[in-house]
């Protein structure tokens, strides 16, 4: 089944909600980057929340990035999600391995670390980008995103993200939801939703059991007149190409390129986002150097 995101409202517009199923997306990322389970969970959670935030971008060419640098052994987590549903991302160390945490779960918090920053950049094609940054408070990513929404966007929210990994390292299930009360939402409504969110089964188990994003929101806020407003297919895809990598080479400058040509005879570049390798042979490098006056 294809992955998708839904955007919904409930309680006469006092609640906004997003939910996503991202199993295939995370499996694609795992295959591209040879992710070990903790990296699958950390990158998968970040890609899932980014995809839900991207459905809310106004312009069709807009995109957003989430960069998490928590000082842990996974290094940086970098994800870019576009308004059209396309998501790409990587972690510095896909092979990080740690013992399970005290709840018997993948120790994402320790892998990510808790001394650093979470940055969100919203890239609007027609105006200045928005940049928001908060301290990492938990390393589990959902809590950090909740903190980000509250501090940077002044938007209270409940965020749940989950990835389940099979024993053979493939992705069993992945998904998430974000529930946000709008200004003026009655306190008892907010209390009730907080209560429901804290009592619901983990998202990754719900999706593993075959529940859809619609089912998850129905269970949480169905009683409040849930209205699904939008549905968008989402998937892992990188938009890198030879021309883009060529401009990376050009940006190194003439001296550096001449060094590479002399020492290696060719240049091998790997796209961080999808691990695709691009080779520029001596002839091509010569041509690039010649074109640089």
DSSP 139: S
Stretch that binds Zn ion, among 135-143, 174-182, 221-229, 230-238 (CB under 5 A): 230-238
Instruction: Return the range that interacts with Zn ion (CB under 5 A); candidates 136-144, 163-171, 243-251, 274-282.
Output: 274-282
Q: Which of 98, 240, 269, 289 binds Zn ion (CB under 5 A)?
A: 240
User: Of the candidates 14, 149, 273, 280, which one interacts with Zn ion according to CB under 5 A?
Assistant: 273
DSSP character string of 144-204: HHHHHHHHHS----EEEEEEEE-TTSSEEEEEEEEEEEPTT--HHHHHHHHHHHHHSPPHH
- State which H helix or E strand residue 31 sits in: helix 23-33
274 makes contact with Zn ion (CB under 5 A): yes
For Zn ion, the closer of residues 131 and 279 by Cβ is 279
One of 118, 238, 245, 249 touching Zn ion (CB under 5 A): 238
Shortest separation between residue 237's beta carbon and Zn ion, angstroms? 9
Tell me if 271 contacts Zn ion by CB under 5 A.
Answer: yes
Q: Is 250 in the site for Zn ion (CB under 5 A)?
A: no
Contact call for residues 38 and 99 (beta carbons, < 8 A)? no
Comparison of 54 and 245: residue with beta carbon closer to Zn ion:
245
Least separation in angstroms between CB 289 and Zn ion: 25
Checking DSSP bridges between strand 86-91 and strand 235-236, what pairing results, if any? parallel
Contacts of 243 (CB under 8 A, 6+ apart): none
By rule CB under 5 A, what count of residues binds Zn ion?
6
Told to check if 145 binds Zn ion by CB under 5 A, we report no
For Zn ion, which is the closer residue by CB, 240 or 289? Answer: 240
Helices and strands, number each (H, E), in the chain: 10, 13
Kindly state the smallest distance separating residue 190's Cβ from Zn ion, in Å: 42
Q: Is 245 in the site for Zn ion (CB under 5 A)?
A: no
Query: Which residues, at least 6 apart from 267, have a Cβ–Cβ distance to it below 8 Å?
Result: 249, 257, 260, 261, 279, 280, 285
- 112: Cα separation from own chain's centroid: 14
Q: Which residues would be at the binding site for Zn ion (CB under 5 A)?
A: 238, 240, 271, 273-274, 276
């Amino acid at each position: 089944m294809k992955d998708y995101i839904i955007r919904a409202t409930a309680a006469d517009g006092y609640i906004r909600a997003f939910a996503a199923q991202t199993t295939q997306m995370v499996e694609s990322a795992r295959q591209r980057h040879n992710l070990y389970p903790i990296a699958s969970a950390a990158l998968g959670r970040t890609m899932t929340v980014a995809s839900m935030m991207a459905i809310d971008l106004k312009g069709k060419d807009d995109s957003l990035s989430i960069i998490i640098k928590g000082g842990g052994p996974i290094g940086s987590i970098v994800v870019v999600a576009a308004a059209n549903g396309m998501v790409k991302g990587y972690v510095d160390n896909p092979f990080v391995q740690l013992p399970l945490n005290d709840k018997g779960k993948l120790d994402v918090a320790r892998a990510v670390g808790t001394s650093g920053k979470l940055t969100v950049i919203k890239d609007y094609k027609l105006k200045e980008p928005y940049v928001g940054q908060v301290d990492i408070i938990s390393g589990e990513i959902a809590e950090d995103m909740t903190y980000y929404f509250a501090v940077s966007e002044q938007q209270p929210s409940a965020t749940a993200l989950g990835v389940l990994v099979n024993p053979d390292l493939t992705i069993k299930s992945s998904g998430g939801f974000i529930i946000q009360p709008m200004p003026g939402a009655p306190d008892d409504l907010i209390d009730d939703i907080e209560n429901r969110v804290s009592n619901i089964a983990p998202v990754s188990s719900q999706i593993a059991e075959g529940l859809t994003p619609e089912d998850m929101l129905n269970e949480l806020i169905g009683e409040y007149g849930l209205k699904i407003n939008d549905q968008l297919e989402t998937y892992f895809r990188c938009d890198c190409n030879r021309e883009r990598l060529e401009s990376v080479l050009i940006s190194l400058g003439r001296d550096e390129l001449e060094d590479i040509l002399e020492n290696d005879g060719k240049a091998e570049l790997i796209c961080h986002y999808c691990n695709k390798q691009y080779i520029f042979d001596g002839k091509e490098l010569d041509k690039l150097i010649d074109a640089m006056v």
